[in-house]
């Protein structure tokens, strides 16, 4: 089942898990069971599966937001115990601070860890330009559309300087067009900053389109049913989604998920 786990090569694994599990309510709810994997530096991993299969749980474990109940989990070879600066997380909602301009929102992670310098401000502005918001540096969240707010949240995520990025359905609340555009930009950006990325989605095609590897997850109990390798180079054009190879992969994932999708 777990191809990667059978050949653990610690040296080139950014995120590694062995028999990782999480239960809630004193064991009553098994949110995640026996997850084992190794994620290569700079790779893009999609987590796909129906609601309740433990996708958010896995991300929150890696982020150090919740404690595991079994198994082991390392980021950069170090056991995860608390939230850490080399791991950054982005949520389905932008969760921006309404009283801060876009730049100030992007600067929040820096402010939390140290005094903000002129360089930090320039960096934040540069990130906002990178996500296509060069004219909105001093706009407040209420003045931005949903898609623009998520772009600010993405810039804020990059400002953390983390090289492991966790994105939990980051564009899930946006319309189809905006989501597709942001996906393409995300692919370009994570390549540019050479981050290792874990991306949660409900959408099979989106999962495959973005990733080097797709973790296909099934619920009750939540587990990684299969890790599917995606052989295309990144970044890739949207048009790849119409190729036969791509659709074979979609069919494969759909098959694993069974009736649910």
**What's the DSSP call for residue 27?**
T
- Taking alpha carbons only, the member of 261, 218, 225, 260 closest to residue 54 is 218
Q: Is 16 in the site for another protein (CB under 8 A)?
A: no
User: Nearest 5 degrees, angle CA 145-CA 150-CA 153?
Assistant: 130
Q: How far is the CB of 166 from ligand ATP (least distance, A)?
A: 12
| Binds Mg ion by CB under 5 A, chosen from 56, 123, 149, 159 | 56
Its sign, for the CA torsion 109, 64, 17, 223, is negative
Partner from another protein, ligand ATP, Mg ion, none binding residue 98, C-beta < 5-8 Å depending on class? another protein
Tokens of 22: 């999480």
- Binding residues for another protein, rule CB under 8 A, total 36
Give the Cβ contact number of residue 90 at 10 Å. Answer: 24
CA distance readout (Å), 152 to 139, 162, 191, 239, 252: 10, 16, 18, 27, 35
Partner from ligand ATP, Mg ion, another protein, none binding residue 51, C-beta < 5-8 Å depending on class? ligand ATP
Q: How far is the CB of 250 from another protein (least distance, A)?
A: 31
- Residue 104's Cα: distance from chain center in Å? 23
Is the CB of 60 or the CB of 156 nearer to ligand ATP? 60
Partner from Mg ion, ligand ATP, another protein, none binding residue 183, C-beta < 5-8 Å depending on class? none
By the criterion CB under 8 A, which residues form the site for another protein?
Answer: 63-65, 82-85, 87-89, 91, 93, 95, 97-99, 101, 103-104, 108-109, 111-113, 121-122, 124-126, 137-140, 142-143, 160
């Amino acid at each position: 089942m777990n191809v990667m786990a059978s050949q653990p090569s610690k040296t080139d694994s950014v995120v590694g898990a062995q028999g990782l599990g999480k239960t809630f309510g004193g064991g009553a709810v098994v949110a995640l069971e026996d997850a084992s994997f190794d994620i290569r530096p700079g790779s893009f991993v999609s987590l796909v599966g129906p609601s309740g299969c433990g996708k958010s749980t896995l991300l929150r474990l890696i982020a150090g937001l919740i404690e595991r109940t079994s198994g082991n989990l390392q980021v950069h070879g170090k056991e995860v115990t608390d939230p850490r600066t080399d791991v950054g997380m982005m949520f389905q909602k932008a969760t921006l601070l309404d009283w801060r301009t876009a730049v100030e929102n992007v600067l929040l992670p820096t402010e939390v860890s140290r005094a903000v310098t002129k360089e930090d401000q320039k960096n934040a502005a540069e990130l906002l330009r990178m996500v296509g918001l060069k004219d909105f540096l001093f706009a407040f969240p209420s003045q931005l559309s949903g898609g623009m707010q998520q772009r600010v949240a993405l810039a804020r995520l990059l400002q953390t300087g983390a090289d492991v990025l966790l994105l939990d359905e980051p564009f899930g609340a946006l319309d189809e067009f905006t989501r597709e555009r942001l996906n393409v930009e995300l692919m370009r950006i994570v390549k540019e900053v050479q981050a290792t990325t874990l991306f949660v989605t409900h959408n099979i095609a989106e999962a495959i389109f973005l990733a080097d590897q797709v973790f296909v997850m099934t619920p009750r109990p939540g587990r990684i049913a299969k890790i599917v390798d995606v052989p295309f180079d990144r970044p890739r054009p949207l048009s790849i989604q119409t190729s036969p190879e791509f659709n074979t992969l979609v069919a494969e994932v759909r098959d694993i998920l069974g009736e649910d999708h």
